[in-house]
Amino acid sequence: MEETLGLALRIASIGVGATLILDAWSFLLQRTFGAPFPNYTMVGRWIGNFGRGRFAHESMGAAPPVAGERLIGWAAHYAIGILYAALLVGFAGVNWLSAPTLPPALIVGVATVVAPFFVMQPGMGLGVASSKAPNPNVARLRSLAAHAAFGFGLYLTALFVTKI
User: Which tens digits make up the pLDDT trace of 78-121?
Assistant: 999 999 999 999 999 999 999 999 999 999 999 999 999 999 99
Averaged over 67-71, what is the pLDDT?
97
Using alpha carbons, select from 91, 76, 79, 6 the residue that is nearest to residue 41: 76
Q: pLDDT at residue 129 above 90?
A: yes
> For the segment 26-66, what is each residue's pLDDT rounded down to a tens digit?
999 999 999 999 999 999 999 999 999 999 999 999 999 99
| CA torsion, ordered 108, 114, 116, 118, to nearest 10 deg | -160
Write the CA distances from 151 to 17, 53, 121, 141, integer angstroms.
11, 33, 20, 15
Per the CB < 8 A criterion, the answer to whether 42 and 62 are in contact is no
Residue 100 is given by DSSP the state -
Write the CA distances from 27 to 37, 97, 141, integer angstroms.
7, 28, 16
Question: Could you give the CA distance from residue 103 to residue 88 in angstroms, rounded to a whole number?
Answer: 11
pLDDT score recorded for residue 97: 97
Q: pLDDT at residue 2 above 90?
A: no
Task: Tell me how crowded residue 25 is: count the other CB atoms within 10 A of its CB.
Answer: 17
**Has this prediction a pTM greater than 0.85?**
yes
pLDDT score recorded for residue 87: 98
Residue at 57: amino acid letter: H
